[in-house]
Amino acid sequence: MDILKSFSLEGKVALVTGASYGIGYGIASAFAAAGAKIVFNDIKQELVDKGMAAYKADGIDAKGYVCDVTDENAVNEMVKKIEEEVGVIDILVNNAGIIKRIPMCEMTAEQFRQVIDIDLNGPFIVSKAVIPSMIKKGHGKIINICSMMSELGRETVSAYAAAKGGLKMLTRNICAEYGDKNIQCNGIGPGYIATPQTAPLREKQADGSRHPFDQFICSRTPAGRWLDPSELGAPALFLASDASNAVNGHILYVDGGILAYIGKQPS
């Protein structure tokens, strides 16, 4: 048997949410290289257009849709349109997400709810929209983009950690509820990735020195560096392909070893 064929996504339709850039773009690019037809969404037309142009420049014929993952009607409409225009979704990556870095006692309930809505309710809404057709088709892959904060807390990210911890358990619950319908639902827990979301943590200081958090993360990562969005592509491809049909409810940490490391001792 040609084991490499089990990593092929030929003939598959993959929806990656919030994939105009960043981690979603890195994952979608890897899926395209493995033969998948890429569809993605963003909340702003201008970003969908920007994303389409970027994919085109990379030789990827992706199709973008304007859709807010927290809007159940809009998500159901988008999934229906994708099924009519491209085909039934075989692979869903719940990637769209935000973070608000605010000390918990200074965060309003509305701000907390907004993070939970996008980072946890969104994956619930989109998964619920695609599962029925996956069941009809007899297979499906769902990949939830979790986080270090699915396992660890840190100051100022209470809402995000609560959402990503919940997303870890939603992943396991979809596995439990739909595993017998040949749907595999797994998570990817990226470490610290150089994207717009983490740009504030890497900004140079006024005196030209590195951001303290930048130095902190490099001391906590065995490889001593931030990871690149493209480094998530192959692990995601594994979870999106037949190569992982016996893997379900698993969170694959792609973190350069952060979770295994106490951190470099100060010299």
Q: Which residues bind ligand NAP (CB under 6 A)?
A: 17-18, 20-24, 41-44, 47, 68-70, 95-98, 118, 145, 147, 190, 192-193, 195-198
CA nearest to 253, candidates 198, 171, 135, 132: 171
Whether the Cβ atoms of residue 39 and residue 99 lie closer than 8 Å to each other: no
The catalytic residue among 25, 55, 65, 160 is 160
Rounded-to-integer distance, Cα 147 and Cα 240, Å: 18
Q: Report the residue from 56, 80, 136, 154 that binds ligand GCO according to the rule CB under 6 A.
A: 154
Closer of 148 and 170 to ligand GCO (Cβ): 148
Element spanning 143, H or E: strand 140-145
What's the angle, vertex CA 185, arms to CA 180 and CA 187, rounded to 5? 155
Residue 160 annotated as catalytic = yes
252 binds ligand GCO (CB under 6 A): no
Residue 63 Cβ vs ligand GCO, minimum distance, rounded to whole Å: 27
Closer of 17 and 248 to ligand NAP (Cβ): 17
Q: Give 21-83 as a DSSP string.
A: SHHHHHHHHHHHHTTPEEEEEESSHHHHHHHHHHHHHTT---EEEE--TT-HHHHHHHHHHHH
Closer of 133 and 156 to ligand GCO (Cβ): 156
Closer of 197 and 245 to ligand GCO (Cβ): 197
Q: Which residues bind ligand GCO (CB under 6 A)?
A: 99, 101, 147-149, 154, 157, 160, 190-192, 197-198
Which active-site residues does the annotation give?
Answer: 160
